[in-house]
Amino acid sequence: MSAGATEVTGAVAVVRDFVNTSDHDEGTDELDSTAGLTAWLTTTGLAGESAEATEAELDLALRLRAGLRRGLELNHDGGAGPLPGLVDVLAELPVVLGWDGTAPVLTTGENGVLGGLARVAVCAHETVATGEWGRLKICSFDECEWAYVDRSKNRSRHYCEYGCGNKLKTRAYRARQRAASAQL
């Protein structure tokens, strides 16, 4: 799977793509090293080109990702709950209030890795303002767990855009076929 396969752009896409740096389906992780984190933040433009991640920053990034993923799971389940891990990591990010010329905005004054991670968190906050936060979910298919944006009218989608609902049906169908043939 490749990130950004749908038309989703902007802050909501940044959050989705950050969570999807871990691909459960393919067993890959773009943030498996400090070099991987540096590459992701600089190619997305969230951090400046001179940024270079340390082990401590990688740890922070992984905790941020885990916390956001948990938040997306809560969105999916229509629930709410305390996320102490996410609270801790958000408190460590260099986010400040600024002025964009027309309105107060959350921003970061840093351009390194911490600034890049702060921008991911600011994007998550922006999705709250645009009403898209609740649409960010984790695919229900256990072999997928892809973060996706539920664009359905009543936010009722349970699976990502890669047809996982159908894959699940196919698997259930095959299981029934196997059970039926075992009884023969």
Interface ranges with Zn ion (CB under 5 A): 139, 141, 144, 146, 160, 164
Number of other CB atoms surrounding residue 110 within 10 Å: 19
* Closest CB 151 distance from Zn ion, rounded Å: 15
Provide the 3-class DSSP secondary structure of residue 23.
strand
Q: Which residue has the tokens 């992780």?
A: 29
Least distance between Zn ion and beta carbon 2 (Å): 14
**Structure tokens given for 135:** 């649409």
Choice between 59 and 161, CB closer to Zn ion: 161
Distance between CA 116 and CA 68 in Å, rounded? 15
Shortest spacing between CB 16 and Zn ion, in angstroms: 12
For 107, phi and psi rounded to 5 degrees?
Answer: -155, -175
Tell the smallest beta-carbon distance from residue 25 to Zn ion (Å).
8
CA distances from 10 to 4, 76, 149 (A): 11, 21, 12
By beta-carbon proximity to Zn ion, the closer residue of 68 and 139 is 139
Name the H helices within the chain. 11-19, 34-43, 55-77, 84-91, 113-129, 164-182
For the record, the structure tokens of 96 come out as 């400040």
Min dist. Cβ of residue 85 to Zn ion (A): 24
